[in-house]
Amino acid sequence: MLFCPHCGSLLVPKKIGSKKVLACSSCSYKTSETKQAVIRQEITQKQPAVDIIEKEIETLPLTEKECPKCGHKKAFFWTIQTRAGDEPETKFFKCEKCKHVWREYD
């Protein structure tokens, strides 16, 4: 990278006629030497598209609870305060096998 000797701004490559020069975008300074004005062009190839696979990953804790639908012995669980603050939380369960969701009140 080269900087303008007058104002310190970055010199950008420009083509004036058949000449390639570096010119300041802030002031009117232009390089007179073509050796300094090397314009480099990079062509980046497109990366192949990435396939997005939507897979449900359970991050909930697993407990031993029998599913009322299929009878499987393990289920994910979470709790939510669905009623007043002085009442116990509602426990929700989701069967590990058939994904059936049910709740229990304490």
List the catalytic residues. Answer: 86-87
Structure tokens at 16: 């004036």
Structure tokens at 28: 């009117």
Query: Which class for 29: exposed (0-12), middle (13-18), buried (19 or more C-beta within 10 A)?
Result: middle
